Structure 1
Amino acid sequence: MKKKRVMITGAAGNMGGETLKLLINDLAKCELLLFDLDNPNSREKLKPYEGLSGVKVVYGNLLDRNLVYECVKDADIVLHIAAFVSPAADEFPERAMQINYGSAKNIVDSIKKSGRADTTRFVNIGTIAETGDRMPPIHWGRVGDPLKPSVYDYYAVSKIAAERMVIESGLSYWVSLRQTGIMGPAMSKIQDPIMFHNCLENVLEYVSDRDSGRLMRNLCIQDIDGELDKGFWQHIYNIGGGESCRVSTLEMYQVLYGKLGITNLDHVIDPKWYATRNFHGQYYLDSDKLEDYFHFRRDSMEYFYQSYLDNLGALVPVAKVITKLPGGQKFMGAMIKRTMKKQAVKERGTLRFIEDNDIEKIEAYWGSKKNWESIPGKLSEMKKFTDWNKVIKLDHGYDENKPASQLNIEDMKGAAKFRGGECLSTEMTKGDWAEKLNFKCAFGHTFSASPKLVLEGGHFCPQCERESWNYKERAKREPFFAQVWNPIQGKDDGREYKKIVSELDIEDK
């Protein structure tokens, strides 16, 4: 039997590299095509695989349509892991859209051009950032919840555009896996202003780089072996590490600094340096779905904590000695704060927003200047959320207990109304989640979309998504969206922020 060919984009990256480490042991069942940019980093990481029987390494750009076609035309499974991610994506919005949307579009177009739209498996990696800010008390979420990319988060914006295109692509075997925060050695080395965008009471259900690779490997091999249920395809899933990977930002700091002997976080954390909204993260109600399919989870948060300590190296035993001395915690805390402040005052840093009196940024990350001023100067004085296990399950606007095969036009009309709009179509094939229907949104824009995109994906009006972050006004008109805005915003918080790029800007380039 001819071996299946698996193409991995971003093969030299974090998640792609871990996928490669595992799939390289399965060359008896598959051939690998490894794709990454032609730069010294990629060359160094992929050099050990060059010349191996059953492995082809291609260096190039996913925006090169001819090259992408040559790679995709014979691929049985495409794992599209490559991406231009934050924080760089926030600094270069056009590039983020060009790469993250453009690369996915080129792959989908190549699959169709090859005449294999009914057989090639396309695994799209989305992101938790698509659903944006889910601060307590709405910190539990699932696929189908409203999309709400945070203001200025062009990584999320580009991934939303790409996912919409994939869902509506007409491919027989597509899947979109929304990746969460990837913990491991790479995360432990992050030194960037974005660390202060991650609110102290924000939560994330992380997954390790190793478990992410195991997920990708198991997906491929189960499909190759004919063991993967066809019902897995044409869906959206959340990737998460499960209960042992759920943590708030503050809890993570408590553990990390505790391992250095710092028990009083007043010495090291100034609450006024941290945003109180406009990041992304949630605990998942549905991440076990992927675990049930692929049994990929092995790591807990302890893996990240150990990676952090390993990164610090010889500083760890020194810190443990110092923090046991009188005044030692205060001394170590002051040293750490000085280092961290260098990031907070940089471009995109939260302290820079305050120092520059950048009202638009201040309102995005705190709601108002008044809100920021009301934050206590000491962590110990901050009122802390405690009801982490309470689940507020959002309404998706239709009867989810009804069998999917029974979905009808009345369900779609009700769902559209709950989204502040209207389903203009008068009929649909019962149970057809892929057939496009016509809609009008709360702002009068008309568009077509499938029930899959709207109900399972949480997408709705593409024009609203392209134009701006206009969440305050949307919450007034859309009961569906109000569920993720009103509980975590003040009555007077919110303004419209125009977006500077959409997928339409780069589609024909």
Structure 2
Amino acid sequence: MINTKKKKCVMITGAAGNMGSETVKLMRNDLANCELLLLDLDHANSRRKLREYEGRAGITVVYGDLLDRKLVQECVKQSDIILHIAAFVSPAADEMPQKAMQVNYGSVKNIVEAIKESGREDLTRLVFVGTIAETGDRMPPIHWGRVGDPIKPSVYDYYAVSKIAAERLVIESGLTYWVSLRQTGIMGPSMSRIQDPIMFHNCLENVLEYVSDRDSGRLMRNLCIRDIDGTLNNEFWQHIYNIGGGESCRVSTLEMYQELYGKLGIKNLDYVIDPTWYATRNFHGQYYTDSDKLEQYFQFRRDSMEYFYNSYLENLGMLVPVAKVITKFPGGQKLMGAMIKKTLKKQAVKERGTLHFTENQDMEKIEAYWGSEANYKAIPAKLSIMKKFSEWKTVVKLDHGYDEDKPDYDLNLEDLKGAAKFRGGECLSTVMVTGDWKSKLDFKCAFGHTFAASPKLVLEGGHFCPTCERESWNYKERAKREPFFAQVWQPLHGADDGRMYKKMVSEFDVE
């Protein structure tokens, strides 16, 4: 008997990118179960990467812009599952805030509208890829986090700002099948080739629970196939999850350098690392207490940090054996360290580099990345005498302002009123259907702004006032008025640290 049932179509945006290409590599072996629609920008790199898929049965390759509404409509109406991986990321996003918002928010807006225009808002699956940068700086001792912690993009991080606006849109979209997967740092060959001032924004004692590009692709593939074959529990949808590689992928920046430079034979990092070149706050990163949720659903983890270290050494090529020989001789470690340090300094003195900030007395940047000039001047000149954090396994669990042990179906208006008060505001609604996480309620924030938001957005997403998020980074004042937010500010800052930074762009600037 001939099976005439139409295969499900999986649309993959950013198909030629880092995470997207790994997804395609795996899903090209699943064409017996689905069809693929690959979408990426029309440029030489994407055409080179996707050329092998052009004309292949079961795969449609489309070159175009996600800001082209007609193109998005045509692609979306053919698609059953949309993996929205494409993004305009940092550091480029920080240099071009308007473009970051246009691409990262505008693309989501077009996709959501296209799903609704297709009349399939109760059928189409939208998998939105968010970012760990939404929750920003989580330096020790608050370096463990989970979904529902306060949204707090780092100052100047317009990639995070745009993704936060996009995630809010997804959560409040009214679609039946949506999910937001907050991606962490993606390790692999691409990360190992990064040469940019942003490397000095990543604090030495910052932590990340990385995930590999290959495991990210496996996560996306397994999600699609389990949805297609009917084995994915419906409870998966309409939630926010943290993507993380688990214990073997948890590492501080300093530990990473110790491992990498150690493989070159440099054991004394004083020769290569100057602590005064590195920010001490205002990046992003955390270990997760809840990343195992996705692993339980999709069993995608295979790689450890060793995969990244090997990629880094491969990039160095013949320098590795040469360095290993030189560092065995007296003075060899110092010589190799000086060579590496000279190369690194070329990035630190660039416009977005930390040395550029300090040498030019850019007080706005100094206060953002060190808290104050006094904090910067207190940094020891040598890594070996820097006081180092050691309680990495100690978890400080943040209070979300409501009884999380209560079953979801028992959530009521009193819970929301208490949560709003903990956020320095007020729940203005007088009626709520018990257990309804999706319908919007009316709120007022600590600064008097009124807005509507769902319990899902506020309690599970960690979002609150869109006006406060849209207009500025005003964290010092927010921490004074919002006990919920104070948990991620006060442990990392002195009483006088912080100023208000106006934002250059918001979702309102997207046409």
* Counterpart Cα distance in 1 of 2:141 and 2:234: 36
1:278 aligns with 2:286: no
* Counterpart Cα distance in 1 of 2:306 and 2:195: 20
Partner of 2:126: 122
Count of residue pairs the alignment pairs up? 507
Partner of 2:324: 320
* Counterpart Cα distance in 2 of 1:146 and 1:167: 16
* Counterpart Cα distance in 1 of 2:357 and 2:373: 10
1:445 aligns with 2:449: yes
Q: 2:87 aligns with which of 69, 83, 86?
A: 83
How far is 1:437 from its partner? 0.1
1:134 aligns with 2:138: yes
> What's the CA shift string for 1:166-196, capped at 9, x where partnerless?
0000000000000000000000000000000
Q: Match for 1:105: what amino acid?
A: K
How far is 1:201 from its partner? 0.2
Partner of 1:260: 264
Q: 1:163 aligns with which of 151, 163, 167?
A: 167
Q: Match for 1:485: what amino acid?
A: W
* Identical residues among aligned pairs (%): 80
- What SS class does the counterpart of residue 35 from structure 2 fall into? strand
How far is 1:369 from its partner? 1.0
Partner of 2:338: 334
Partner of 1:197: 201
How far is 1:495 from its partner? 0.2
Q: 2:371 aligns with which of 358, 361, 367?
A: 367
Alignment of 1:46-195 (within 5 A): 46-195=50-199
1:288 aligns with 2:292: yes
* Counterpart Cα distance in 2 of 1:505 and 1:319: 51
Unmatched 5+ stretches in structure 2: none
Partner of 2:226: 222
Q: Match for 1:137: what amino acid?
A: P
> What's the CA shift string for 1:119-149, capped at 9, x where partnerless?
0000000000000000000000000000000
Partner of 2:402: 398
* Counterpart Cα distance in 1 of 2:395 and 2:59: 46
1:26 aligns with 2:30: yes
Partner of 1:407: 411
- What SS class does the counterpart of residue 468 from structure 2 fall into? helix
How far is 1:479 from its partner? 0.1
Alignment of 1:206-245 (within 5 A): 206-245=210-249
The runs of 4+ residues in structure 1 deviating greater than 6 Å are none
1:269 aligns with 2:287: no
Partner of 2:432: 428
Q: 2:253 aligns with which of 237, 241, 249?
A: 249
- What SS class does the counterpart of residue 33 from structure 1 fall into? strand
Partner of 2:306: 302
Q: Kindly report the root-mean-square deviation, in angstroms, between the aligned alpha carbons of the 2 structures.
A: 0.3
> What's the CA shift string for 1:292-317, capped at 9, x where partnerless?
00000000000000000001011100
- What SS class does the counterpart of residue 476 from structure 2 fall into? helix
* Counterpart Cα distance in 1 of 2:134 and 2:443: 22
* Counterpart Cα distance in 2 of 1:497 and 1:475: 15
How far is 1:390 from its partner? 0.4
- What SS class does the counterpart of residue 25 from structure 1 fall into? coil
- What SS class does the counterpart of residue 28 from structure 2 fall into? helix
* Counterpart Cα distance in 2 of 1:74 and 1:34: 12
Q: Match for 2:477: what amino acid?
A: E
Partner of 1:493: 497
Partner of 2:481: 477
